[in-house]
Amino acid sequence: MADLLRKPFGTRGKVHDITPASAGWRYVGFGLYHLKAGDKAAECTGDTEVILVVVEGKARISGAGQDWGVLGARMSVFEKTAPHCLYLPNGSDWDAVAETDCVLAVCAAPSKGARSAHRIDPDGIALTERGTGTNTRYINNIAMENEDYADSLLVTEVFTPAGHWSSYPSHRHDEDDFPRITYLEETYYHRLNPASGFGVQRVYTDDGQLDETMAVSDGDVVLVPRGHHPCGAPYGFEMYYLNVMAGPLRKWRFVAAPEVTWIMERDA
């Protein structure tokens, strides 16, 4: 069985630490901190660029030699407001001191080092609807390709209503053949409302060599090294996830699974 489902390894401090080495791939890194008021997190970006996402709560953040002040506003992701984020280039030291209970995501990928640190303000992130029927979900694009915020990183949030599917119709982005498809590794950081709930995510390839279906709990991370990767929120449970993608080209191009091509054609 592939090691695609990662459970948090604690309840305070750093609870996820996914690196290319631990994931068995080349590009995406993902870390997550759970902080109480007064707790501190600090790292150096090294040879990667980083987008810090204040998932919940507030924290005073310094990075790349600047004090960025207190970032964060929403106390729960299910408020569905846009997050406060900070882009940091490679070779940057940063630290965050929590002002309230705080969840801080660290999204990382290789960088050419040509960019400067900058805030990604919530005013520039609009909640948009995608899909139809029980495939409807709502997107906060933090740093997708239309936002020229990074060298490698693609970062977005998705809110999936109870009883709906997301990352669906099933699709893959696991070949470097632009413009038909791009190679992008991906992580899913899942949250559920209520937190006692569960969601479902399947990761599978057309040839069946990879085919894993996982029950995801609040706080889990799913790795998507290749293949299709739909997820579903059962009736009664809202699902949130934070996606991090990266590969050799900062473009998101995908191919639908053969069994859902008719859906893509119908809904186009």
Q: Domains in the chain, start-ordered, CATH in brackets?
A: 5-267 (2.60.120.10)
- Bin 15: left if φ > 0, else alpha if -120 < ψ < 50, else beta: alpha
β-strand partners of 129: 138
The pLDDT assigned to 260 comes to 94
Q: Which of 139, 136, 167, 170 is nearest to 155 (CA)?
A: 139
Joined tokens for residue 44:
């150096």
pLDDT digits (tens, 9 = 90+) for 218-236: 999 999 999 999 999 999 9
Q: In 3-state terms, what secondary structure has residue 258?
A: helix
Peptide bond preceding 194 in cis form (omega within 30 of 0) = yes
In the Cβ-directed half-sphere of 222, how many Cα atoms lie within 13 Å? 28
Q: Which of 194, 204, 205 is nearest to 234 (CA)?
A: 194
The pLDDT assigned to 268 comes to 64
The pLDDT assigned to 1 comes to 44
Ranges of residues in the chain with a pLDDT under 70 are 1-2, 268
The pLDDT assigned to 114 comes to 75
The pLDDT assigned to 210 comes to 97
What lies within 8 Å, CB to CB, of 45 at 6+ separation is 88, 89, 90, 91, 92, 93, 94, 108
**Alpha carbon distance 191, 221 (integer Å):** 9
Contact (CB, 8 A) for 140 and 77:
no
The pLDDT assigned to 264 comes to 86
pLDDT digits (tens, 9 = 90+) for 70-86: 999 999 999 999 999 99
